[in-house]
Chain A
């Protein structure tokens, strides 16, 4: 009941600590982090996949991501004087943890292209660049998109930790709620952060469906991929 009152209170829907502003902060942090991670991860993974090199690196980067706690990286970055507390540390930490699923999936996608298909394309006189742009990337697209989905959902979910290092986002309610021992605010924050993550997951699932060519769509029930790094 108190929770209902909290959500229907118009004061919680306006101003810098309102739900729209906090949601926006979380979305912006996530977009920035994904942008950085994509720029860093995709070219390297595509190149490694194209040359079929670095199998160990591409597969182990996920294991490393799993073993290193996100909270620890976030706090270490925020404790470096030149970065400091706030959203910057969070964006950097989020970007770092988005890299493993991007690299692993992109590499797997490119290297999964059948050797005979590559031979046929070469036989048709394609250059290395054409091979990449017209054969490898299109065939790898579903797996690359799956990697982007895994990374993005994970980033949106983890962005709630930014509040622990003085950043914004929806985690603010949870952290402030614990500081004030106010169960209503804690629960409201938990519902909002969980809701945003689930919404992102649904959105990307739909996007993945739209971007997958009709012929490649699996007829079996969709099984959500297991994220590399839990948030």
Chain B
């Protein structure tokens, strides 16, 4: 920030003159968020299957998950830093851990909530385990699973900002560098607003998807 300039919080001038920078930060923010959540889903789904087959694992799995969830992101990113270095992977793996816990819990809860009579009926129709899982249980649990994905995604959008610590924080990097450049108010607030808008955008989109995933309940969903 120029040292002699006024330091307004709201500056359209900032937005237009730093458009490219904001777009790049937004692209990075979206990529980090999506990569974290997708990685979490890829791990959570097989894990949910495992937990459902071996119920004794559920308690320990949720306990470990609870402890991991308590670890501050600043600490988790720092702990992963020696492994992945100053790369986006440090941020993606750390945030995937948090997303994993939400998605795992919702997937298990969603699958457990499927009416046993429906599963019985499917078995009576001659479906095998695989068919029951993919054509009955997963579709019925989809709203719960997607609710987990939505909560995880919105949380991840906020958490990406901490990635600024290792240079991959999307809008968070702009917020932190604005702070370090003599409290550059316009940059700090613009990046913050952009970050919140991104979270709202994900929330609305995934909420829509969640509502669409339960056609049998469409009348109840406004």
Contact = CB atoms under 8 A, between A and B. Distances in A.
Task: Tell me which of A75, A189, A194, A197 has the highest count of chain B C-beta atoms within 10 A of its own C-beta.
Answer: A75
Nearest to B191: A72
Interface residues of A, number: 45
Q: Main SS of chain A's interface residues?
A: helix
Contact of B199 (A66, A201, A226): A66
B70 A201 contact: yes
A229 B155 CA distance: 7
Interface in A142-163: 153, 157-158, 160-161
Contacts of B179: 75, 78-79, 165
Interface string A171-213: 1001101100001001101110110011011000000000000
A189 B75 CA distance: 7
A153 B72 CA distance: 10
Interface in B25-76: 59, 62-63, 65-67, 69-76
Contacts of A39: none
Contacts of B66: 201, 223-224
B203 A79 contact: no
Given A189-B78, A224-B69, A76 B203 contact: no
A66 B78 contact: no
A70 B71 contact: no
Contacts of B161: 69, 71-72
A72 B66 CA distance: 26
Interface residues of B, number: 49
Contacts of A227: 69
Contacts of B113: none
B188 A72 contact: yes
Interface of A: 63, 66-73, 75-76, 78-79, 153, 157-158, 160-161, 164-165, 171, 174-175, 177-178, 183, 186-187, 189-191, 193-194, 197-198, 200-201, 221, 223-224, 226-227, 229-231
Contacts of A164: 165, 176
Given A72-B175, A160-B72, A190-B78, 15 more contacts: A67-B157, A68-B158, A71-B162, A72-B172, A73-B192, A78-B183, A158-B72, A175-B165, A178-B166, A187-B78, A193-B74, A193-B75, A197-B72, A229-B155, A231-B72
Contact of A161 (B70, B74, B185, B188): B74
Contacts of A183: 81-82
Contacts of B82: 183, 186-187
A177 B155 CA distance: 27
A71 B169 CA distance: 11
A187 B176 contact: no
Given A72-B191, A224-B69, A160 B199 contact: no
Nearest to A221: B59
A68 B203 CA distance: 12
Given A63-B203, A79-B188, A230-B159, A174 B69 contact: no
Contacts of B67: 198, 201
B78 A76 contact: no
B6 to A, nearest CB: 13
Contacts of B75: 160, 174, 189-191, 193-194, 197
Contacts of B138: none
Contacts of A161: 72, 74, 162
5 contacts: A79-B183, A174-B74, A197-B72, A230-B159, A231-B73
A227 B70 CA distance: 9
